Structure 1
């Protein structure tokens, strides 16, 4: 049996309002974590970078599973998902020298 709301238009408007809120009023973060044991950086994005770091350290992600422990070294707040994807893609192409320079910039939330 399929659930059909008694007021489908009203339900649709509420659902649309929720997604618009999530899209435009949720902060998005690009983050970089560092594996002390493997001397490697991992770049990613999240709406909650602290929780995401915990997931990496608990082995809940495929790439970072056996490379921990991880330390958060960079986080930058961006205001749209599009900006975050562009920034993450750019960071994944950068060399270590650039990353070391980036960690010292004002945009880094981790000091």
Structure 2
């Protein structure tokens, strides 16, 4: 699991990529409280991610403007191949399956 650097989250909105430890499926979302949101996913409080817990954070970005975070989330979801997206953005030692 990639440690969540709290200094990175001093801004207001975040996009994040979770990967299921069970079946390696990915989930992309945005929030204004990343730690709370990840805990909710891992407690099964969200319909889409409920059947794939536990999750780990494999990527995140922060934004000052909500619209920017939502647009980035949409872009990442449209990207199509999450493993390739992550490989291009995360150091190899942290992008392993």
Is TM more than 0.5 here?
Answer: yes
Q: How many angstroms does 1:74 deviate by?
A: 1.1
Q: Distance in 2 between matches of 1:40 and 1:100?
A: 15
Partner of 2:33: 48
Q: Distance in 2 between matches of 1:100 and 1:40?
A: 15
Bigger RCO (CA 8 Å, 6+ sep): 2
Corresponding residue SS for 2:50: coil
TM-score normalised by structure 2 residue count: 0.76
TM-score normalised by structure 1 residue count: 0.67
Q: 1:77 aligns with which of 54, 58, 62?
A: 62
Q: Distance in 1 between matches of 2:17 and 2:85?
A: 13
Q: 1:102 aligns with which of 80, 83, 89?
A: 89
For the aligned residue pairs, the C-alpha RMSD in angstroms reads 1.2
Q: Distance in 2 between matches of 1:60 and 1:70?
A: 13
Structure 2 gaps of 5+ residues are 1-10, 92-97
Q: Summarize deviations over 1:17-44 as a string: whole Å, max 9, x none.
A: xxxxxxxxx6100011110111111000
Structure 1 gaps of 5+ residues are 1-25, 105-111
The alignment covers a number of residue pairs equal to 79
Q: How many angstroms does 1:99 deviate by?
A: 2.0
Counting only pairs closer than 5 Å after superposition, residues 21-36 of structure 1 correspond to structure 2 as 27-36=12-21
